[in-house]
Amino acid sequence: MERIIAHYLIETPYDLDKATAILAGEQSSGTFVDIPGETQALKDRFSARVENIELLEQAQQPSLPGDSSPHASYKRARVSVSWSVENFQDNIPTLIATLQGNLYELRQFTGLKLDDFDLPDYYKSKFKGPVFGAKATKELAGVIPQKPMIGTIIKPSIGFTPQQTADLVKVLVEGGIDFIKDDELMASSANSPFEERVCQVMKVIKNHQQKTGKKVMYAFNISGDLETMKRNYDVVVQHGGSCAMLSINSVGWVGVKAIADLGGLSIHGHRNGWGMLNRHPLLGINFPAYAKLWRLAGVDQLHVNGIRNKFWESDASVIRSIKACSEPFLGIRKLLPVVSSGQWGAQAFDTYKHTKTTELLYMAGGGIMSHPFGPAAGVRALQQAWSGAVQGKTIEETEHECAEFAALVAKFGKLKTS
Could you say which residues in the range 146-175 bind a second copy, by CB under 8 A? 153, 155-160, 164, 168
Determine contact, residues 165/197, Cβ cutoff 8 Å.
yes
Residues 325 to 364: which contact a second copy by CB under 8 A? 342
Nearest-5° Cα angle at 172, 166 to 177: 130
Q: CB-wise, 294 or 349, nearer to a second copy?
A: 294
Q: CB-wise, 110 or 326, nearer to a second copy?
A: 110
Q: CB-wise, 65 or 213, nearer to a second copy?
A: 65
DSSP 3-state assignment of 54? Answer: strand
CA distance 348 to 354: 10
| 126 forms part of the interface with a second copy (CB under 8 A) | no
CA distance 145 to 245: 23
Of 312, 403, 306, the C-alpha closest to 349 is 306
Residues 70 to 109: which contact a second copy by CB under 8 A? 86-89, 91-94, 96-98, 100-107
Residues 306 to 325: which contact a second copy by CB under 8 A? 310-313
User: How many whole angstroms from its chain centre is CA 91?
Assistant: 22
CA distance 202 to 211: 14
CA distance 79 to 106: 16
Residues 378 to 417: which contact a second copy by CB under 8 A? none
Q: CB-wise, 160 or 386, nearer to a second copy?
A: 160
Which amino acid would we find at residue 117? F
Candidate segments 39-47, 132-140, 355-363, 377-385, binder of a second copy by CB under 8 A: 39-47
Single residue of 51, 115, 118, 183 touching a second copy by CB under 8 A: 183
Burial status of residue 199 (CB atoms within 10 A of its CB: 0-12, 13-18, 19 or more): middle
Residues 222 to 281: which contact a second copy by CB under 8 A? 223-226, 228-229, 247, 249-258, 270, 272-277, 279-281
- Cis peptide before 156, with omega less than 30 degrees from 0? yes
Single residue of 60, 70, 144, 190 touching a second copy by CB under 8 A: 190
Smallest distance from the beta carbon of 353 to a second copy, in angstroms? Answer: 23
